[in-house]
Structure 1
Amino acid sequence: MLPSCMVGPDYEPPEIKVPDAWTEAIDKDNKSKVTGSQKWWKKYKDPILDELIQRSREANPNIRIARARISESWYQRSVLSAAWYPKAEINARDAHGLGTFDSAGVKWDIDSSRDQYANFDVGWELDIFGRVSRQVESATAEYEAKIEGYRDALVFINSEVALHYIAYRTLEKRIAVAEEGRDNYQQIKEMIDGRFAEGLSTQMEQHEANADLLASEAEIPKLKQEKKVISNRLAALVAMRPAEMPHVLKSGYDIPSPPKRINAGYPSEILRSRPDIRRAERKIASESARIGVATANLYPQFSLSGAISYEYFTQGATIETITRTLGLGPNVRWRIFNACADRNRIREQESKLEQAITTYEGTVINAVTQVENSMTRIHHSQKRLEYLQKASKEYHGAANLLYEAYQTGQVDLRRLLNSQQDYIRTKDESYATEGRHVAHTVRLFKALGGGELPHPKSTALAN
């Protein structure tokens, strides 16, 4: 009978419209839904990436904090749910007099008086209007929100590790291209120096060749600096010292190959695949239950209480007081006038609920946008990469032919140097675009919720 008296609104999940299909399809022939694989990074088939992500899941401080917040929230819920049950408390004392004192000083008289007291109180609040139940309902939703916060932290950290690792491997390739360019310009400079000695080249050509050589060498320290910064960021993500990273990262690895197929599912699945959306929904449930808590304050609070007490007091040889009582009865507490404070607290909580619903809607819109953007970037970066790779090959062939043509006097030095610049620039951009393309696939996994798709009613931690 008591739950039927609960005041305040019963929670109903919010309804929000999402598109029926994605604007940019990754694979139009594949209609399967998101499978829910928790280890999406395995699709890149890179053992170093696997090791780094595993380290981050175990040692990253943000993930460890998120796990601790789950425990904190659970114990907060346990504290509130204890109000469903009776409570008991014992108070006792046994005081002995030591004498008296006045302006003349202290007059010691051991055991001149004695005061004994013992009290056993029991109480039980009858949750007739659901104040306690609504508090526990809100705390349960907060606990579930903390679980989704932990999952969201996993998604974020996993993707950050993958993005930084891809950036690291991309910089390795770009450094190799810069060193190839330096070697090519060094070869041209040596050829110019030889021709100058024979009187076939001018001093101006020497300066031009040397300037391009120095400019190409200047690119290498800049790229190595970026590589070191990325390595240090990876160290922070996996909770390691920067000095340990070269041993972990090793060398000789290519930029990870992106998966050939990514199942993006349907937009409606975003509502249950992304932890941040599920967390925002749990926040709504929590704020809704708190309206019930505030509403219950308008109604009387009933409780049962009982007490057994004993009091004994003596002064010298005379018993002044001796009391033995046993009591049991109902209590009622009702704030009949509070200057509308309780009603204003209800309106305040309704405003918080409105904010939570708006936050949820914004989270959903942001999620759909992120998926759309990632899919669009994947599609167009793949096209750009194909063109750049073809252009790099063409520039390479042209640079080799112009090198020979310069030696026979068919072209001038500037055209030869420009051909080298075009080749190196295009090859560098092709590797940079390849890295961005792979990174876009990681961002798509992140936008889809990291591939994690637990049962809506599950509160178990992800492994």
Structure 2
Amino acid sequence: MHIRTWCYAMLSLILPMTVQAQGEHKYLDHALPEAWQEDDSNFQQTLPVDDQWWKNFNDPVLDSLIEVAVRQNYSVLMAADRIAMAKANLRIQQGSYSPTLGFSAGWTRQQTSGNTGSLPRTTTQYSDATLSMNWEIDVFGSIRNRVKAQKENFAASKEDYNAVMVSLCAQVASAYINLRELQQEVEVVKKNCQSQLAVVKITEKRYETGLVSKLDVAQALSVYYDTKASLPMLEAGIIQYTNALGVLMGLYPQDARKIMETQKPLPEYVEMVGIGIPANLLLRRPDIRSAERLVNAQAASLGASKSDWWPKVFVNGSVGFASHDLDKLANHNSLTYEIAPSISWSFFQGGKLAQATRLAKAQLDESIRQFNQDVLTAVQEVDNAMNAYKNSIRQIVALREVVNQGKQTLELSLDLYKQGLTPFQNVLDAQRSLLSYENELTQAKGSSLLSLIQLYQALGGGWGIEE
């Protein structure tokens, strides 16, 4: 029978037994909310035009730190390696579409003994060269589904790379803001130390003139030294965040310290933030896009496991030359060939096929639930960050008034003390309160910027690579 006729006959027998995969899976258990819970003038329902959100801080140092980090961070480099591995796996799976070709050649010379029987000694030789082929025809989509699964895994690895980049940019920005916040707290402490030292000198002069007891001097010195004692822990925190920035940039700590020696104030940023609508998260957050790709990959794997229930069709063949005389090997009379289409159907494997399908179905269900969990977590993170940022702005406005009143209280209490109209305790209370207020204001500014960074991260802002 001609090979084409045989294949048509086999296909007409097998194709009616194929089954179609189930319809599209419903990823989301519940529809996303139409708007965010926070309704405030600080936010607008449009996404930022520029994904490089850190440039809104107008801080060249931060820009340069992130630029170095995305180039040298080892987590990013490992994510890029995982993309290369996923691409290689895809190419390996795509290779199943092509036939397997092999070549073999040999020469044999054999001589029999003339002393072991009635036959005389004989000498024979044999030479051959053969090109063979084995090709699986993907009738039921087993190879096609496995290739599709690897394509989705490859796409998911790209999204994982994007997620690493988004996280890295947020980590660098957060460490930088924490560092600048501590540096600003150091400046606050030093400024208060100078003010408190001036008060110490005032109490000493009043003690020397006999206007007050030495208790006032001792109390003034206690406040001064207590304030000064907070510097070492702040400086230790600065070193820790500097080291963290060094690791994020792929540098050793001593190299990072050289970069961060110059002190700078916290960036001033109180502007309207673009947040879009909840559905934008599905388009922007790389972790959600990666989860969606993994759902598609598991669906394709389920289809492949179902295809394994049905027969596999192969076409085997070979062509070559064989001859006893080496000089006649290339002669047309030495030509040999073989065409051997075949079908293989392992319809019973002790339940392995059924369990493989159940496993693939369970993995698909798990990936769908993971996708839904990621969406819920994303909405929660955005709502939390929006609420934190909005209230941090309100806190900053209130603390600025508190600091102004604290400064005025210190000035008034000190003037009254100089005139002998108020006890020194009022001055001490005013000094401690002012230091506390200024530290709270600095921390509130840092917390506001950190909340903004978390908001941009939750919205999926940052880096992206082409599909």
Q: TM-score, normalised by structure 1?
A: 0.87
Structure 1 residue 198 displacement after superposition = 2.8
1:34 aligned residue (13, 33, 47): 47
User: Aligned ranges for residues 187-336 of structure 1 at < 5 Å?
Assistant: 187-249=198-260, 251-258=262-269, 260-308=271-319, 325-336=336-347
Distance (Å, rounded) in 1 between the aligned partners of 2:427 and 2:42: 45
Structure 1 residue 373 displacement after superposition = 0.5
User: Aligned ranges for residues 448-463 of structure 1 at < 5 Å?
Assistant: 448-450=459-461, 460=466
* Residue 378, structure 1, aligned to residue 389, structure 2: yes
Structure 1 residue 202 displacement after superposition = 2.5
Distance (Å, rounded) in 2 between the aligned partners of 1:212 and 1:21: 51
User: Aligned ranges for residues 76-87 of structure 1 at < 5 Å?
Assistant: 76-87=89-100
CA contact (8 A) 1:8 1:289 kept: no
The residue aligned with 2:58 is: 45
CA contact (8 A) 1:25 1:375 kept: no
Structure 1 residue 30 displacement after superposition = 4.0
* Residue 408, structure 1, aligned to residue 419, structure 2: yes
Read off the aligned partner of 1:69 and give its amino acid letter.
R
The residue aligned with 1:163 is: 174
Structure 1 residue 213 displacement after superposition = 1.7
CA contact (8 A) 1:43 1:259 kept: no
What fraction of aligned residue pairs are identical, expressed as a percent?
21
Structure 1 residue 37 displacement after superposition = 2.2
Q: CA offsets per residue over residues 340-375 of structure 1, 9 Å max, x none? A: 110111011111111101110010000001110111
**What secondary structure is seen at the aligned counterpart in 2 of 1:129?**
coil
CA contact (8 A) 1:258 1:441 kept: no
Read off the aligned partner of 2:199 and give its amino acid letter.
I
1:21 aligned residue (3, 27, 35): 35
* Residue 175, structure 1, aligned to residue 175, structure 2: no
Structure 1 residue 384 displacement after superposition = 0.8
* Residue 439, structure 1, aligned to residue 450, structure 2: yes
CA contact (8 A) 1:185 1:209 kept: yes
The residue aligned with 2:331 is: none
* Residue 71, structure 1, aligned to residue 84, structure 2: yes
CA contact (8 A) 1:20 1:267 kept: yes
Distance (Å, rounded) in 1 between the aligned partners of 2:130 and 2:19: 34
**What secondary structure is seen at the aligned counterpart in 1 of 2:230?**
helix
**What secondary structure is seen at the aligned counterpart in 2 of 1:267?**
coil
Superposed CA RMSD in Å reads 2.8
The residue aligned with 1:59 is: 72
Structure 1 residue 7 displacement after superposition = 4.9
| 1:335 to 1:415, Cα distance in 2 relative to 1, 3 A | same
Distance (Å, rounded) in 2 between the aligned partners of 1:36 and 1:292: 40
* Residue 135, structure 1, aligned to residue 146, structure 2: yes
Read off the aligned partner of 1:416 and give its amino acid letter.
V
**What secondary structure is seen at the aligned counterpart in 1 of 2:102?**
strand
Structure 1 gaps of 5+ residues are: 101-111, 315-322
CA contact (8 A) 2:382 2:458 kept: yes
* Residue 366, structure 1, aligned to residue 368, structure 2: no
Deviates more, 1:366-375 or 1:405-414: 405-414
Read off the aligned partner of 1:177 and give its amino acid letter.
V
The residue aligned with 2:328 is: none
| 1:60 to 1:120, Cα distance in 2 relative to 1, 3 A | same
Read off the aligned partner of 2:226 and give its amino acid letter.
A
Structure 2 gaps of 5+ residues are: 1-7, 114-122, 326-333
User: Aligned ranges for residues 95-174 of structure 1 at < 5 Å?
Assistant: 118-174=129-185
Read off the aligned partner of 1:218 and give its amino acid letter.
A
Instruction: Give the paired residue count.
Output: 436
CA contact (8 A) 1:141 1:282 kept: yes
Distance (Å, rounded) in 2 between the aligned partners of 1:434 and 1:397: 22
Structure 1 residue 120 displacement after superposition = 2.4
Deviates more, 1:244-253 or 1:171-180: 244-253
**What secondary structure is seen at the aligned counterpart in 2 of 1:38?**
coil
Structure 1 residue 82 displacement after superposition = 1.0
Q: TM-score, normalised by structure 2?
A: 0.86
Q: CA offsets per residue over residues 142-178 of structure 1, 9 Å max, x none? A: 0000010011111100111111111111111110011
CA contact (8 A) 2:66 2:172 kept: yes
| 1:19 to 1:117, Cα distance in 2 relative to 1, 3 A | same
CA contact (8 A) 1:152 1:276 kept: yes
Read off the aligned partner of 1:8 and give its amino acid letter.
A
